[in-house]
A = this chain, B = another copy of it.
Amino acid sequence: MDDAHRSGCPINLTLEVVGDKWSLLVIRDIIFGNRRHFRELLTHSEERISSNILADRLKTLLDQGILTRADDPTHKQKAIYSLTEKGIELLPVLAQMAVWGLKYLPVSEELGIRAQLLDKGGPELWAEFMDELRASHLGQPRRLPPHPDGSVGERLQRAYRAVLARRAAR
């Protein structure tokens, strides 16, 4: 995987690593959905990833140093997947894709709300979110002060649920 690159262009190299239809969705679910186990990624996937594809993508993301895998002490068969710093720093890429998709593609109301917040919050909000991810995935102490309204992850989740509730009420 590390040899025989098509070119040394940073965009090309990035596409060689995450330029398929699934890798970034897996990372999205880990970041925004807080999925840490194989089953969670498999069954809570909006897009219904199949298990062989998921297994393959997790393997290459591990090989690439974007994720790490650890045993779950509560269950001998469970594995916990965590983001590395390299994985956490894919958040701006995902955020830009979300902003672009929100503007130009037929995004559903409930799934668009997060993109709206990411757009409105901009790079500062992304940095705050990455700070949280470093705490939850790498065990690093928080560098930024906690926000009075809760973590970015919580705020995004809350906004998502609020849209769902509003929709159900109609």
Binding site for B on A (CB under 8 A): 2, 5-17, 19-21, 24-25, 28, 46-48, 65, 86, 89-90, 92-108, 110-112, 115, 123
Contacts and interface: CB of A to CB of B under 8 A. Distances in A.
B5 A16 contact: no
A9 B46 contact: yes
A40 to B, nearest CB: 16
Contact of A106 (B13, B21, B46, B97): B13
Contact of A14 (B10, B20, B46, B105): B105
A98 B7 contact: no
Nearest to A95: B96
Contacts of A8: 106-108, 110-112
A58 B21 CA distance: 19
Contact of A15 (B17, B24, B86): B24
Given A10-B105, A12-B101, A17-B105, 17 more contacts: A5-B106, A8-B106, A9-B47, A10-B98, A10-B101, A10-B102, A10-B107, A12-B46, A13-B101, A14-B98, A14-B100, A14-B105, A16-B21, A19-B19, A89-B100, A95-B96, A123-B123
14 contacts: A2-B106, A8-B106, A8-B107, A8-B108, A9-B107, A9-B108, A10-B98, A10-B105, A11-B115, A13-B106, A14-B97, A19-B21, A92-B100, A96-B96
